[in-house]
Amino acid sequence: MTIHPAKLVLADGTVFEGEAIGVYPESGIATGEVVFNTVMAGYQEVITDPSYAGQIITFTYPHIGNYGVTDLDNESRGTFCRGVVVRDLARRRSNWRSTADLSSLLETQGIPGIAGVDTRQLTRHIRDAGAMPAAFGTADEVALKNAAAAEPETTGVDMVATVTCDEPYSVPFSGGGEAPRSIVAIDFGIKSNIVRNLSHFGSVEVVPASTSANDILARNPSGVFLSNGPGDPEPVDYAQEAIKAMLGEVPIFGICLGHQLLSLALGAKTFKLPFGHHGGNHPVKRLSNSHTEITSQNHNYCVDCGGVQGIELTHVNLNDDTVEGIRSTEVPAFSVQYHPEASPGPHDSNYLFQSFADLMDGHK
């Protein structure tokens, strides 16, 4: 196999050497915002998560691709990340479920990547300097530096519009028979496993992010779900307005970006974290019973709800004390910053889907 040397150049000029994997544009340059993810398994689910739109994913676990890939584990209809960075890309897959190797996924999805990188050093650098734009590829170092310097940050950009579905679609109640509830899920970049979890509690209709409150309420849902998604919640103002119009009309449950959008609609603020939370082992304290949940997370922005009337803090991140969950004390609405559906990650927080079902039943 021919090895093509490649380089990763951060916006601050830091250079990492490796070898090209996946598929590059003709220019030999790919760009995006570099973040790191600490999962030890679940690389396919991470790569196919729409929340990574605009980002280059660095996997901190050194050996990636050893169990291959299967279409059954895709978390969306395609891929939206800008690329992947790994230390060691497995040359052979070993798992009875796999139908192809990771290299094939990168090639079929047109994802560029770079292997052989000292990802420990890169992660330490991002942790200290913060997530930042970068360029990587087979082009010369000067061209890569210029591309990295020209790459814009994601702040203030509506990334949701690049990942949401074009038309509504329905998923039937997985329990068979008549659905006990009807759920409308707003797609800000929804993961497949979220839809599967929701379908355990009723029929699900997934609608585009731009769907109006009137259109959603006209469907007479038992509840409305606000999905995960990429980027800065501030410019997704159309969703905030729709959520405001639905508050008190129907029970609402939000995850990740949906949590941030609900919080903004309730009067809170959001801010960007230095390097975000990306991984499957973040400890979160549930304040109602002081239990600790190990959670799956993927977000660059965070909620500040301090001093806002009508919002109760429900969950806190034990690593940095950031807000991980809130509920409204005035209307039936709650949300969490992390991913209770996991995929990949632990299932400690899966009870939240039942909590949503209970909230819908109590609102009848």
- Residue of 278, 282, 315, 339 marked catalytic: 339
- Residue of 256, 278, 293, 302 marked catalytic: 256
Alpha-carbon gap, residue 219 to 270, rounded angstroms:
30
- Residue of 45, 234, 293, 341 marked catalytic: 341
Q: Is 81 part of the annotated catalytic residue set?
A: no
Contact in structure between 232 and 269 (CB atoms under 8 Å)? no
Contact in structure between 60 and 158 (CB atoms under 8 Å)? no
Count of CB atoms situated within 10 Å of the CB of 360: 24
Region of residue 198 (phi > 0: left; psi between -120 and 50: alpha; otherwise: beta): alpha
Alpha-carbon gap, residue 111 to 182, rounded angstroms:
37
Q: Is 341 part of the annotated catalytic residue set?
A: yes
Calculate ∠ Cα 22-24-29, nearest 5°. 130
Structure tokens that stand for 75 in this block: 């978390």
Rg (alpha carbons) of the chain, rounded to whole number: 20
Nearest to 9 by CA among 143, 104, 131: 143
Q: Is 256 part of the annotated catalytic residue set?
A: yes
CA distances for 159 relative to 184, 186, 232, 235, 342, angstroms: 21, 15, 7, 9, 22
For 227-262, b where at least 16 C-beta lie within 10 A, e where not — what string? bbbbbbbbbbeebbebbeebbeebbbbbbbbbbbbb
* Residues with active-site annotation: 256, 339, 341
